[in-house]
């Protein structure tokens, strides 16, 4: 079943078109990988897919609805409840500990304290963040910050995961652990994931694969 569609999406970055009529469909239970060199528009595509950025032209269809025909309140609630977005810059809140950063989406959603503790402990264990819960972001390495940001996005078991270069600071073994966890959420929750990477060669366990170049997606694996 189709979860997300980008239809003829055009978008600019720094007054230059980086998306020139992009079309993509993401179905439940599917992980899609988008490769591309730095600066080709992968982040712009990720922000369009996660309803953060409005395209100049084209439609973003989520669960059969054109999201930009609805209110900002609807988009904000949908992002909170159903979309797990991983920014390549991590964007952890500096005044919160690792635990508090990961817990934050659940807290905003009104999840009970006991349930929050259980859920956060699970994701901390899986992503090997044990012992770092009381650290602040500036006390972490790049890879640790990246894992904490991924944990924050995944803690609510989102229906749609959009991860912009989530593996750039991870070693191969840690990347496999994180990717396996994303795969488990996608399969268990009948969710979907869109992952971008600047890496043009490494093999990833995905269902479809594209290269973004010259503003368009070229299919590598269908």
Q: Is 138 within the bounds of a domain?
A: no
Which of 157, 198, 152, 221 is closest to 43 using CA atoms? 198
1 pLDDT above the threshold of 90: no
The reported pLDDT for the residue numbered 13 is 87
Report the Cα–Cα distance between both ends of the chain, in Å, rounded.
16
Q: Report the pLDDT averaged over residues 14-31.
A: 95
Q: Is 60 within the bounds of a domain?
A: yes
Q: Is 113 within the bounds of a domain?
A: no
The domain spanning residue 61 has which CATH number?
3.40.50.300
How many domains does the chain contain in total? 1
The reported pLDDT for the residue numbered 161 is 98
Give residue 39's domain range: 2-95+159-221
Q: Is 146 within the bounds of a domain?
A: no
**pLDDT band of 222, cuts 50, 70, 90:** low
Cα angle for residues 48, 53, 57 (degrees, 5° grid):
70
- Dump pLDDT digits (tens) for 121-151: 999 999 999 999 999 999 999 999 999 999 9
Q: 213 in helix, strand or coil?
A: strand
Q: Is 121 within the bounds of a domain?
A: no
8 pLDDT above the threshold of 90: yes
Q: Is 187 within the bounds of a domain?
A: yes
Q: Encode 184-204: b = buried (16+ Cβ within 10 Å), e = exposed.
A: ebbeeeebbbbbbbeeeeeeb
- Dump pLDDT digits (tens) for 177-200: 999 999 999 999 999 999 999 999
Using a 10 angstrom Cβ sphere, with 0-12 exposed, 13-18 middle and 19 or more buried, the burial of residue 126 is: middle
88 pLDDT above the threshold of 90: no
pTM score of the predicted model: 0.94
Q: Report the pLDDT averaged over residues 29-38.
A: 96
How does DSSP classify residue 40? S
In angstroms, the CA 62 to CA 3 distance is 6
Q: Is 185 within the bounds of a domain?
A: yes
- Dump pLDDT digits (tens) for 48-67: 999 999 999 999 999 999 99
**pLDDT band of 209, cuts 50, 70, 90:** very high
Q: Is 127 within the bounds of a domain?
A: no
């Amino acid at each position: 079943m189709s979860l997300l569609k980008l239809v003829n999406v055009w978008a600019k970055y720094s007054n230059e078109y980086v998306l020139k009529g992009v079309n993509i469909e993401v179905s439940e239970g599917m992980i899609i990988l988008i490769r591309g060199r730095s600066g080709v528009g992968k982040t712009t595509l990720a922000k369009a897919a996660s309803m953060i950025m409005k395209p100049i032209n084209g439609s973003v269809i989520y669960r059969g609805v054109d999201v930009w025909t609805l209110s900002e309140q609807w988009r904000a609630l949908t992002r909170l409840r159903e979309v797990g977005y991983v920014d390549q810059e991590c964007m952890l809140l500096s005044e919160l500990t690792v635990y508090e950063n990961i817990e934050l989406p659940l807290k905003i959603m009104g999840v009970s304290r006991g349930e929050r503790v259980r859920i956060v402990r699970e994701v901390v264990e899986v992503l090997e963040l044990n012992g770092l819960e009381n650290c602040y972001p500036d006390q972490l390495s790049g890879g640790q910050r990246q894992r904490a940001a991924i944990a924050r996005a995944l803690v609510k078991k989102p229906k749609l995961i959009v991860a912009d270069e989530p593996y750039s600071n991870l070693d191969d073994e840690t990347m496999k652990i994180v990717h396996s966890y994303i795969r488990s959420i996608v399969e268990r929750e009948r969710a979907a994931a869109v992952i971008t990477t600047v890496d043009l060669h490494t093999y990833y366990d995905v269902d479809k694969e594209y290269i973004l170049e010259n503003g368009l997606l070229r299919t590598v694996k269908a």
